[in-house]
Structure 1
């Protein structure tokens, strides 16, 4: 599953938190090469490509390296600290996928179950179909305007299954790519303005799929649907489920959908640069033409510090390196950490 593909590495490099003491020798790491790593990472900051960097390396179950360099906020020259809180965006996905698999182990669903069995809104889905394929009658006519603009939207032939959500073969996307028709539908639906997960489901269930479920792979909002499934199957909000079933057992004390007031001073400014123009509508920001870093989210005005009611399973969490290392160590340790069993080894092997 996606969890295994993302997280099972002999070396895990992530953002850092301070409570760890590093032992390169115990981890079997070269001090000389670690110095080279630091030099490379520092250059990203010194050349203005990144505001700050935190690196941690775990090998053979030991913390072999950690380091922090740069700024939490460039304008104020606020130094990046070991306990800084970051927006982890799509690294929310592995956590929510684990949450759903916990419910799978409890017999709440089968991987081949249709999604609409638990989410009725996802039953009568439609899918985008070009009228002419690119190899129309063995030629390239299907690529030529206006033939390439002719399309139909019809009911899907197959049902979307839960396993399709977990492996991103559902036909859902993010609203960017070469399919301008479906992309426009995502923009019009304004999915990120949903007031909660149910409202989000109502929005995306009306958008045509990019392809028939199970017939292709596309990165997108599938894990947000997984998050809503967790709510439906558990009877808890996604926020409550993750907190009680994953964060507390793993001692992930700084992982939230909303940054608590007493932690805002540890929340970093978010910067971005050199984003292709076709993706910029997602952030609703203009960009520096020279590619320099530009702040797009500040702690004192961030949506992550307001009254968060939409718990995005695909990208809504904030966290620290200490916390995320705890999660990854649990995965690397076959679903258990410090006596807390989150998943069985058999599920991890999937």
Structure 2
């Protein structure tokens, strides 16, 4: 187990004081997070905290594989699940900048199966009562989860049950590729008229298919050529590699009796086969802290990286403003269910949650912070006001098990003293 209060950017070591952090207060972060491992709730974790583009704090603690007694290391590979979504959203907006579509375009223009959507009104999963949708799903509705789609794992509505009955709960039916899955979702009813409410859903997977249609490339190929290659994200992929046997962290869930992290290979091993069929733009990637830190640094710099630019800064500004109906927050317009953020004081842009009101959020943060997380309790955020980026990696499913993300906020911001 290792823990360091200083980190190296290239060959240069950055003193946290130079970046506005009190080193003793930074140690509070690791002291607190170690308790999650020492009492068995987490297998291990890795944290990277950067400001002004320089790494102020990088620490690791615990195991990537408890049973094999393997520590978390700098090259440990993590399943990032829904932290795939912002990458897919960036890919979509790269094509937008090339004039490939307009945000108000109906999705059916590019994926015809979405032409005549129906909305659930009453009845059960076997005999639902439906009505025609009042308007079409637009591309922007996919980006901000107001399309009316869902996830089968929500377990709160008949619509979710319909998804599960078709084999869509925590994954996709065997042999289904992205195109087939998207057409299946288009054949199932919407929860509400597009653009009227917020429901966390497979919408970003549909975006992945849109990227394929518009670019003429597989989603994996587009990511490799247009995002991962330019940013040097060499360990981020949909596809299992032999090297993952040595570097991939095991996946854990909490034991319902003890709360301790318990290995779950049924979910963990799915990565080795799923990418061959289903390129999930909503949750299919694995990555490392270094790789995802490069993606976050590009976002912090307004779409720029050392070798060029992925997005224009005005585009990124547009993506990270609240786009929910009536400029409401998720508490007002979101359907109350699991998501990777709290609802109070938080809106949603085109691919990211956006802090609107830190006081309502109830957590130390800044207006304009944009973020998301993954089902295995991974998380990232970018705070433009403080010029701060945070990447947190672990492997505990589901992410709602512990309030690690809000705890990280209070611990990180208390260490800022400039």
- In the superposition, the TM-score normalised over structure 1's length comes to 0.82
What is the match of residue 182 of structure 2?
Answer: 201
CA offset digits 1:172-211 (Å, max 9, x no partner): 1112446431121010111312521111112211211111
**2:153–2:164 Cα contact (<8 Å) kept:** no
What is the match of residue 78 of structure 2?
Answer: 86
**Mean Cα deviation higher: 336-345 or 151-160:** 151-160
CA offset digits 1:155-178 (Å, max 9, x no partner): 211100000000000001112446
What is the match of residue 159 of structure 1?
Answer: 136
**1:173–1:221 Cα contact (<8 Å) kept:** yes
CA offset digits 1:24-60 (Å, max 9, x no partner): 1232211011111110111111011110010110112
**Pairing 1:216–2:204 present:** no
What is the match of residue 104 of structure 2?
Answer: 112
Q: In structure 2, do the counterparts of structure 1 residues 238 and 179 end up closer, same or farther at CA, with 3 Å as the change threshold? A: same
Select the structure that is richer in helix: 1
Larger Rg: 1
Q: Distance in 2 between matches of 1:262 and 1:288?
A: 33
**2:9–2:54 Cα contact (<8 Å) kept:** no
Match of 2:283 among 315, 321, 324: 315
CA offset digits 1:6-38 (Å, max 9, x no partner): xxxxxxxxxxx9876553123221101111111
Task: Give the superposition deviation at 1:152.
Answer: 2.2
Match of 1:239 among 200, 211, 220: 220
**2:9–2:55 Cα contact (<8 Å) kept:** no
Q: Distance in 2 between matches of 1:182 and 1:328?
A: 34
Match of 2:92 among 77, 84, 100: 100
Q: Distance in 2 between matches of 1:259 and 1:22?
A: 35
What is the match of residue 38 of structure 1?
Answer: 30
**Pairing 1:259–2:253 present:** no
**1:189–1:204 Cα contact (<8 Å) kept:** no
**CA RMSD of superposed structures (Å):** 2.3
What is the match of residue 354 of structure 2?
Answer: none
What is the match of residue 128 of structure 1?
Answer: 120
3-state secondary structure, aligned to 1:102: helix
Q: Distance in 1 between matches of 2:38 and 2:90?
A: 37
CA offset digits 1:212-253 (Å, max 9, x no partner): 100100111100000000000000000000000000000001
What is the match of residue 302 of structure 1?
Answer: 269
**Pairing 1:290–2:258 present:** yes
What is the number of residues matched between the two proteins? 304
Q: Flag structure 2 segments of 5+ consecutive residues without an equivalent.
A: 1-6, 319-418
Task: Give the superposition deviation at 1:125.
Answer: 1.2
Q: Flag structure 1 segments of 5+ consecutive residues without an equivalent.
A: 1-16, 132-145, 274-286
